[in-house]
Copies of this chain bind each other. A is one copy, B any other.
Amino acid sequence: MPVKPEILKVTPTARSRLFQIEEMELRFSNGVERTYERLSNRGRGAVMVIALTAMNEVLLIREYAAGLEDYLLTLPKGLIDPGEDALQAADRELKEEAGYGAHQIKPLRVLTTAPNYMGHQLTVVIARELYPCKLEGDEPEPMELVRWPLDRLDELVWQEDFSEARAIAALLLTRDLINKGEL
Protein backbone atom coordinates (compact mmCIF):
# COMPACT_ATOMS: atom_id res chain seq x y z
CA MET A 1 0.00 0.00 0.00
CA PRO A 2 1.21 3.55 -0.71
CA VAL A 3 2.40 5.74 2.14
CA LYS A 4 -0.41 8.13 3.12
CA PRO A 5 0.18 11.85 2.63
CA GLU A 6 0.96 13.86 5.72
CA ILE A 7 -1.92 16.11 6.79
CA LEU A 8 -0.19 19.44 7.43
CA LYS A 9 -3.25 21.44 8.42
CA VAL A 10 -7.06 21.30 8.36
CA THR A 11 -8.88 24.66 8.35
CA PRO A 12 -12.67 25.17 8.44
CA THR A 13 -13.57 27.59 5.65
CA ALA A 14 -17.38 27.76 5.60
CA ARG A 15 -20.26 26.33 7.55
CA SER A 16 -24.02 26.21 7.52
CA ARG A 17 -26.65 24.49 9.63
CA LEU A 18 -25.91 21.03 8.17
CA PHE A 19 -22.57 21.29 6.42
CA GLN A 20 -19.04 22.30 7.24
CA ILE A 21 -16.40 22.78 4.59
CA GLU A 22 -12.73 22.52 5.34
CA GLU A 23 -9.42 22.95 3.57
CA MET A 24 -6.85 20.26 4.01
CA GLU A 25 -3.16 20.89 3.32
CA LEU A 26 -1.44 17.67 2.32
CA ARG A 27 2.13 16.64 1.61
CA PHE A 28 2.24 13.48 -0.51
CA SER A 29 5.03 10.96 0.02
CA ASN A 30 6.77 12.23 -3.15
CA GLY A 31 6.99 15.71 -1.59
CA VAL A 32 4.21 17.30 -3.66
CA GLU A 33 1.98 19.57 -1.58
CA ARG A 34 -1.69 20.16 -2.35
CA THR A 35 -4.65 21.88 -0.75
CA TYR A 36 -7.88 19.88 -0.99
CA GLU A 37 -11.37 20.85 0.04
CA ARG A 38 -13.79 18.47 1.67
CA LEU A 39 -17.04 18.37 3.60
CA SER A 40 -16.16 17.65 7.18
CA ASN A 41 -17.56 14.65 8.89
CA ARG A 42 -19.82 16.01 11.61
CA GLY A 43 -22.30 13.19 11.99
CA ARG A 44 -22.34 9.66 13.30
CA GLY A 45 -22.92 8.23 9.84
CA ALA A 46 -26.06 7.03 8.14
CA VAL A 47 -27.95 3.82 7.45
CA MET A 48 -29.85 2.40 4.47
CA VAL A 49 -32.31 -0.46 4.95
CA ILE A 50 -33.00 -3.45 2.72
CA ALA A 51 -36.30 -4.65 4.19
CA LEU A 52 -37.29 -8.04 2.78
CA THR A 53 -40.85 -9.34 3.12
CA ALA A 54 -41.96 -12.98 3.42
CA MET A 55 -43.23 -12.61 -0.18
CA ASN A 56 -39.68 -11.95 -1.47
CA GLU A 57 -40.21 -8.26 -2.00
CA VAL A 58 -38.05 -5.33 -0.96
CA LEU A 59 -39.69 -2.22 0.52
CA LEU A 60 -39.02 0.97 -1.41
CA ILE A 61 -40.15 4.51 -0.70
CA ARG A 62 -40.86 7.38 -3.05
CA GLU A 63 -39.34 10.51 -1.56
CA TYR A 64 -38.72 14.10 -2.66
CA ALA A 65 -35.01 14.60 -3.31
CA ALA A 66 -34.19 18.27 -2.85
CA GLY A 67 -30.86 17.97 -4.71
CA LEU A 68 -32.63 16.80 -7.86
CA GLU A 69 -35.90 18.71 -7.31
CA ASP A 70 -37.83 15.56 -8.08
CA TYR A 71 -39.34 12.44 -6.52
CA LEU A 72 -37.15 9.33 -6.55
CA LEU A 73 -37.67 5.72 -5.64
CA THR A 74 -35.12 4.68 -3.05
CA LEU A 75 -34.53 2.59 0.06
CA PRO A 76 -35.44 3.80 3.56
CA LYS A 77 -32.44 5.65 4.97
CA GLY A 78 -31.37 8.32 7.40
CA LEU A 79 -28.80 9.64 9.82
CA ILE A 80 -27.82 7.77 12.97
CA ASP A 81 -29.12 9.76 15.95
CA PRO A 82 -27.10 10.40 19.13
CA GLY A 83 -27.14 7.33 21.35
CA GLU A 84 -28.10 4.95 18.53
CA ASP A 85 -26.00 2.34 16.78
CA ALA A 86 -26.51 1.57 13.08
CA LEU A 87 -28.96 -1.28 13.69
CA GLN A 88 -31.13 0.81 16.02
CA ALA A 89 -31.14 3.67 13.52
CA ALA A 90 -32.12 1.28 10.72
CA ASP A 91 -35.01 -0.11 12.77
CA ARG A 92 -36.23 3.42 13.58
CA GLU A 93 -35.94 4.69 10.00
CA LEU A 94 -37.83 1.65 8.71
CA LYS A 95 -40.64 2.37 11.18
CA GLU A 96 -40.74 6.08 10.29
CA GLU A 97 -40.44 5.82 6.53
CA ALA A 98 -42.02 2.47 5.67
CA GLY A 99 -44.21 1.71 8.72
CA TYR A 100 -42.53 -1.59 9.58
CA GLY A 101 -40.32 -2.93 12.34
CA ALA A 102 -38.04 -5.94 11.94
CA HIS A 103 -37.45 -8.88 14.27
CA GLN A 104 -34.24 -9.74 12.43
CA ILE A 105 -31.77 -7.04 11.48
CA LYS A 106 -28.10 -7.31 10.54
CA PRO A 107 -25.42 -5.27 8.77
CA LEU A 108 -24.60 -6.03 5.11
CA ARG A 109 -21.64 -3.74 4.45
CA VAL A 110 -20.39 -0.16 4.77
CA LEU A 111 -20.46 2.01 1.64
CA THR A 112 -18.83 5.37 1.00
CA THR A 113 -20.58 8.08 -1.00
CA ALA A 114 -17.99 10.39 -2.55
CA PRO A 115 -14.83 9.53 -0.61
CA ASN A 116 -12.62 12.04 -2.43
CA TYR A 117 -14.38 14.94 -0.75
CA MET A 118 -16.70 13.46 1.91
CA GLY A 119 -15.98 11.19 4.87
CA HIS A 120 -19.63 10.04 5.02
CA GLN A 121 -20.11 6.35 5.61
CA LEU A 122 -23.37 4.51 5.10
CA THR A 123 -24.10 1.18 6.77
CA VAL A 124 -26.41 -0.99 4.69
CA VAL A 125 -28.63 -3.14 6.89
CA ILE A 126 -30.77 -6.17 6.02
CA ALA A 127 -34.13 -6.28 7.84
CA ARG A 128 -36.36 -9.36 7.84
CA GLU A 129 -39.29 -10.82 9.76
CA LEU A 130 -41.15 -7.53 9.36
CA TYR A 131 -44.21 -6.46 11.36
CA PRO A 132 -46.38 -3.35 10.96
CA CYS A 133 -45.22 -0.53 13.25
CA LYS A 134 -45.45 3.15 12.38
CA LEU A 135 -43.31 5.76 14.13
CA GLU A 136 -43.77 9.46 13.46
CA GLY A 137 -40.63 10.92 11.89
CA ASP A 138 -39.84 14.42 10.69
CA GLU A 139 -41.07 13.82 7.14
CA PRO A 140 -43.08 16.71 5.67
CA GLU A 141 -45.51 14.31 3.98
CA PRO A 142 -46.25 10.58 4.11
CA MET A 143 -44.01 8.60 1.76
CA GLU A 144 -45.45 6.25 -0.79
CA LEU A 145 -44.44 2.67 0.00
CA VAL A 146 -43.67 0.42 -2.97
CA ARG A 147 -43.23 -3.35 -2.63
CA TRP A 148 -40.83 -4.50 -5.32
CA PRO A 149 -40.45 -8.23 -6.13
CA LEU A 150 -36.84 -9.39 -5.79
CA ASP A 151 -37.10 -11.36 -9.03
CA ARG A 152 -37.69 -8.06 -10.86
CA LEU A 153 -34.61 -6.22 -9.52
CA ASP A 154 -33.16 -6.29 -13.03
CA GLU A 155 -35.78 -3.80 -14.13
CA LEU A 156 -35.54 -1.56 -11.09
CA VAL A 157 -31.79 -0.92 -11.23
CA TRP A 158 -32.09 0.52 -14.74
CA GLN A 159 -35.08 2.78 -14.03
CA GLU A 160 -34.48 6.49 -14.37
CA ASP A 161 -36.30 7.23 -11.09
CA PHE A 162 -34.13 4.70 -9.19
CA SER A 163 -30.81 6.44 -9.75
CA GLU A 164 -29.19 6.55 -6.31
CA ALA A 165 -25.91 4.62 -6.62
CA ARG A 166 -25.92 3.59 -2.95
CA ALA A 167 -29.36 1.99 -3.30
CA ILE A 168 -28.39 0.22 -6.54
CA ALA A 169 -25.17 -1.09 -4.97
CA ALA A 170 -27.01 -2.22 -1.82
CA LEU A 171 -29.66 -4.13 -3.76
CA LEU A 172 -27.25 -5.80 -6.19
CA LEU A 173 -24.98 -6.85 -3.29
CA THR A 174 -28.03 -8.32 -1.54
CA ARG A 175 -29.00 -10.23 -4.67
CA ASP A 176 -25.46 -11.59 -4.87
CA LEU A 177 -25.78 -13.03 -1.37
CA ILE A 178 -29.24 -14.45 -2.09
CA ASN A 179 -27.96 -16.11 -5.29
CA LYS A 180 -25.09 -17.65 -3.35
CA GLY A 181 -27.53 -18.90 -0.69
CA GLU A 182 -25.75 -16.83 1.96
CA LEU A 183 -28.75 -14.82 3.07
Q: Which residues of A contact B (CB under 8 A)?
A: 1-2, 4-5, 7, 13-19, 21, 23-24, 26, 28-30, 32, 34, 36-39, 41, 62-72, 74, 109-122, 140-141, 144, 154, 157-158, 160, 163-166, 168-170, 172-173, 176
Contact = CB atoms under 8 A, between A and B. Distances in A.
B14 A19 contact: yes
A92 to B, nearest CB: 17
B19 A67 contact: no
B18 A164 contact: no
Given A32-B140, A141-B30, A117 B67 contact: yes
Contact of A111 (B30, B110, B164): B164
Contact of A112 (B5, B32, B165, B172): B165
B28 A141 contact: yes
17 contacts: A4-B69, A5-B64, A7-B69, A19-B21, A21-B21, A36-B66, A38-B67, A65-B115, A66-B116, A69-B119, A111-B163, A111-B164, A112-B164, A113-B113, A113-B164, A158-B173, A165-B170
Contacts of A160: 110
A72 B110 CA distance: 14
A160 to B, nearest CB: 8
Contacts of A164: 111-115
B37 A16 contact: yes
A112 to B, nearest CB: 4
Nearest to A35: B17
A165 B36 contact: no
A24 B66 contact: yes
